[in-house]
A and B are shown apart, each in its own frame.
Chain A
Amino acid sequence: MSNSKRIALVLRIVLGCVWLYAAYTKLRQPWLVFAMSIDAYRLLPEWAVLTIARTLPWLELVIGILLIAGIAMRYVAILGTIILMIFFGVMLSAYTRGLGIDCGCFGLGDALSWKTLVRDGSLLLAAAGLVYLCWKRRPSDRFSS
């Protein structure tokens, strides 16, 4: 196994676990609690808040499973990175507006702060790294680890 394959394996397992944990923390609480976390960002209309609150935890669960299983890696890695970019942008916007809210990333009590920005920024870098490693590999490696 080459070095880049090893790094890709570590990244997808770590990121997969993070996605699964994020899904678990949201799914174990009433979905409207997550809806209120999204609403507190004051960016989206109510219909969008409700739709995201209903669907995002399940999407996170699917991404986590696919990353760990190594299925459709190139596309899942891109999807995960796009979602993390959106999260990071939204969090940065709320932070610069001085909103005292939960980031909503890992359930209740996860206050938005420079620490959460550093954490999510690091996850975004890791996800971008995984995209790079997946796409630079040979076509025969595309759909497996």
Chain B
Amino acid sequence: MMPFNLAIACSLMLAVSAIAAEPGKAIGSAVAPITIELFSDFQCPHCKELHDETIGPLINEFVNRNRVFLVRRYYPLPSHAYAKPAAYLACAAEKIGKYNEVSNLLYRTQETWGANGKVEETVCSILKPDEAKRIRLLAKDPAVISEVDKDKALGDAQKITQTPTMIISHNGKSYPIPGAVSYSMLKRFLDDMLGQ
């Protein structure tokens, strides 16, 4: 009986660590007590603020410690001309394991490509030629386009009207929090929920 239980425990641990390991659009442990779905638009300046000031420490202190499962979702706003191509490229980058590099770059250079529209050139500038070629193809792939559209539809279903919006779920309750919330305030809220 004991070895059987041990085998189950080991396979469960492997399953959880497999979910936790891959740094993509969803990061952390899927069994973490809190889930945050972050709906953002790469061309939105307040999403950049949230990304630059809040998401980094959130990942270090909560996601990497298996307290928060973070799912980043695409929510390109119609008012931003290059938000959709940027989302397709980020989604394509996710398929080749380059999501973090590409999303960081998109936010860092937002002002430039937001003005000149050279999203693809910007993204490809940090990739090897073969990766750039794959991403260009993948960004036009119907599966990638449909994944972005699915995220957008999911946001619409949750009545999201602005970006960034975090939907923070814990113990069956969900709180939609829009805006570039400071990390210290978010930390207080998460600590409070974890302490309950």
User: Taking beta carbons and an 8 Å cutoff, which residues of A are in contact with B?
Assistant: 29-30, 32-33, 35-37, 39-40, 42, 46, 49, 98-102, 108-109, 111
Complex contact B192–A32 (CB within 8 A): yes
Q: Distance (Å) between the CB of B137 and the closest chain A CB?
A: 33
19 contacts between A and B (CB under 8 A): A30-B192, A30-B193, A32-B192, A35-B188, A36-B177, A36-B179, A36-B186, A36-B189, A39-B179, A40-B177, A40-B181, A98-B45, A100-B163, A100-B178, A101-B162, A101-B178, A101-B179, A108-B176, A109-B159
Q: Distance (Å) between the CB of B57 and the closest chain A CB?
A: 15
Complex contact B179–A40 (CB within 8 A): yes
Interface string of B85-129 (1 = CB under 8 A from A): 000000000000000000000000000000000000000000000
Neighbouring B residues of A49 by C-beta, 8 Å: 185
Neighbouring A residues of B162 by C-beta, 8 Å: 100-101, 111
Q: Once A and B bind, how many residue pairs between them come within 8 Å at the CB atom?
A: 63
Complex contact A102–B178 (CB within 8 A): yes
User: Taking beta carbons and an 8 Å cutoff, which residues of B are in contact with A?
Assistant: 44-46, 159, 161-164, 175-182, 184-186, 188-189, 192-193
Residue of A nearest to B188 (CB): A32
Complex contact A100–B46 (CB within 8 A): yes
Known: A36-B185, A40-B181, A102-B177. 6 other contacts (CB 8 A): A30-B189, A30-B193, A40-B179, A46-B185, A100-B163, A100-B179
A144-B67 Cα distance, complex, nearest whole Å: 55
Residue of A nearest to B46 (CB): A100
Neighbouring B residues of A98 by C-beta, 8 Å: 45-46
Most buried by B among A35, A36, A101: A36
Residue of A nearest to B191 (CB): A32
Residue of A nearest to B177 (CB): A36
Q: Distance (Å) between the CB of B110 and the closest chain A CB?
A: 14
Known: A32-B188, A32-B192, A101-B162. A39 touches B181 (CB 8 A): yes
Neighbouring B residues of A39 by C-beta, 8 Å: 179, 181-182, 185
Complex contact B178–A111 (CB within 8 A): yes
Q: Distance (Å) between the CB of B178 and the closest chain A CB?
A: 5
Neighbouring A residues of B189 by C-beta, 8 Å: 30, 32-33, 35-36
Q: Residue A40 contacts which of B163, B180, B184 (CB distance < 8 angstroms)?
A: B180
Q: Residue B182 contacts which of A33, A37, A46 (CB distance < 8 angstroms)?
A: A46
A101-B161 Cα distance, complex, nearest whole Å: 9
Neighbouring B residues of A100 by C-beta, 8 Å: 44, 46, 162-164, 178-179
Residue of A nearest to B190 (CB): A32
